Amino acid sequence: MKIGIVCYPTYGGSGVVATELGIALANTGHEVHFIAYKQPFRLSYFHENISFHEVTFADYPLFEYPPYETALASKLVDAVKFSKLEVIHVHYAIPHASAALLAKQILAAQNIHIPVITTLHGTDITLVGKDPTYAPVVTYSINNSDAVTAVSADLRRQTYDTFDISKEIEVIPNFINTHIYRPDNKSHFKKAIAPHGEKIIIHTSNFREVKRIEDVIYVFYELRKNIDAKLLLVGDGPERQKAEQLCRQLGTCSDTRFLGKQDAINELLAISDLFILPSAAESFGLAALEAMACGVPVISSNAGGIPEVNIQGVTGFLSEVGNVNEMAANALRLLENNDLLEQFKTNALAQAQQFSTERIVPEYEKLYGNLVKKIEMKFVAP
């Protein structure tokens, strides 16, 4: 099948999922075309089944804001016509879904019919999408896509609760490449970070306010009163400076490393003992799944779709958002009891297998196949 994938190419969960989906589809023989304003960051190598179409903007003094949505719709029309795409799959509603629907209309006027699949990722619904600035367009785009998927049951519920939705939303959870994200306890690497056998605590994110980085530092501060531990903070973003200030104020900097954006996150996760995800909102929590696939239990908040991934008392512990004392107590309970920690590591790994690429990606393939058949029956059948 010839599949067009639209995504944000920068660091961020939706772009990661879209890119990994495209790679997985290409590996099974589909022809995948990424349409984005920049090469997606996990796509920096050649793959015979993958092409990239860059959305470019013609600059003009009148445009105070580049008309991204218009440029994207035009690029989609071009890609569908000349690469003979059969489906357009957009990740993140704003403005990808509405741009794809515009492209679909333009193409229909030329007797080219193509289904549009919209995948909702979270902030396009829970934070940005419900703002009155965007809500009418988001509602229209969801109701008029040929299929809509959400990455968790909680996100589907929130979408129905927030907008006036008449469309069926299917849940297809995020997935993980368990061949890359897997336990791999490199002792020399571990030793470089924790030379005296300290426990390694890790957090990865884009350091936005919603991630509550300061809670990570408070949990670590409490934990460190009782055990020897090191904290790895991976990623970068607007909250980084505040996090550094807090770490200095609490005196935890000597055991904390700010590693910035890293490509080989799997290697850092694989040497870690515990992952902390205290987010205020999280439609799914792909970062937690990445950790679990490396055999790392998760101490998290119970926001959004996190409980669908991190299972209370099995793969980790969940607390109300902001309850850092309970998070620290749960972390300590695990780290002080090696048998319990080992059991949770095994459980985390087993839970992550439920979300393997091999299990989840065929759900998308099935969806594409059904939609293409429907279009053929409507427009091609005699």
User: Rounded to an integer, what is the distance from CA 308 to the centroid of its chain?
Assistant: 14
Here the tokens at position 308 are 């669908």
- In the stretch 40-79, what mask flags binding to ligand GMT with x, by CB under 6 A? ----------------------------------------
- In the stretch 213-252, what mask flags binding to ligand GMT with x, by CB under 6 A? ----------------------------------------
Q: Which of residues 2-31 bind ligand GMT (CB under 6 A)?
A: 12-14, 17
Closest to ligand GMT by CB, 86 vs 282, is 282
Closest to ligand GMT by CB, 166 vs 241, is 241
Here the tokens at position 105 are 């209309």
- DSSP letter, residue 37: S
Q: How many residues bind ligand GMT (CB under 6 A)?
A: 19
Here the tokens at position 54 are 């860059």
Residue choice 206, 310, 330, 351 for contact with ligand GMT (CB under 6 A): 206
CA nearest 296: which of 202, 207, 166? Answer: 202
Q: Under DSSP, is residue 196 helix (H, G, I), strand (E, B) or coil?
A: coil
- Give least dist CB 376 to ligand GMT, A: 30
Report the DSSP beta bridge partners of residue 356. Answer: 176
Q: How far is CA 91 from CA 149, 232, 371, in A?
A: 10, 30, 17
Q: Is 281 a binder of ligand GMT (CB under 6 A)?
A: yes
Residue type at position 379: F
Closest to ligand GMT by CB, 69 vs 222, is 69
Nearest-angstrom CA–CA distance, 261 and 374: 43
Nearest-angstrom CA–CA distance, 329 and 335: 10
Residue 16: partners with Cβ closer than 8 Å, 6 or more residues away: 42, 286
Q: Is 283 a binder of ligand GMT (CB under 6 A)?
A: yes
Closest to ligand GMT by CB, 205 vs 330, is 205
Q: Is 169 a binder of ligand GMT (CB under 6 A)?
A: no
Q: Which of residues 309-368 bind ligand GMT (CB under 6 A)?
A: none
User: Rounded to an integer, what is the distance from CA 145 to the centroid of its chain?
Assistant: 21
Q: Is 151 a binder of ligand GMT (CB under 6 A)?
A: yes
- Give least dist CB 16 to ligand GMT, A: 7
- Give least dist CB 356 to ligand GMT, A: 16
Q: Is 175 a binder of ligand GMT (CB under 6 A)?
A: no
CA atoms within 13 A on the CB side of 67: 12
Residue choice 34, 175, 221, 284 for contact with ligand GMT (CB under 6 A): 284
- DSSP letter, residue 227: S
- DSSP letter, residue 35: E
Q: Is 274 a binder of ligand GMT (CB under 6 A)?
A: no
- DSSP letter, residue 132: T
Q: Under DSSP, is residue 145 helix (H, G, I), strand (E, B) or coil?
A: coil
Which span sits near ligand GMT by CB under 6 A: 58-66, 164-172, 277-285, 324-332? 277-285
- Give least dist CB 156 to ligand GMT, A: 13
- Sheet with 169-171: list strands edge to edge: 50-54, 31-36, 2-6, 87-91, 116-120, 147-150, 169-171
Q: Which of residues 91-150 bind ligand GMT (CB under 6 A)?
A: 121-123, 126
Q: How many residues in the chain?
A: 382
Residue choice 107, 194, 223, 286 for contact with ligand GMT (CB under 6 A): 286
Residues of the shown chain interacting with ligand GMT in the complex, contacts defined by CB under 6 A: 12-14, 17, 121-123, 126, 151, 174, 206, 208, 210, 281-286
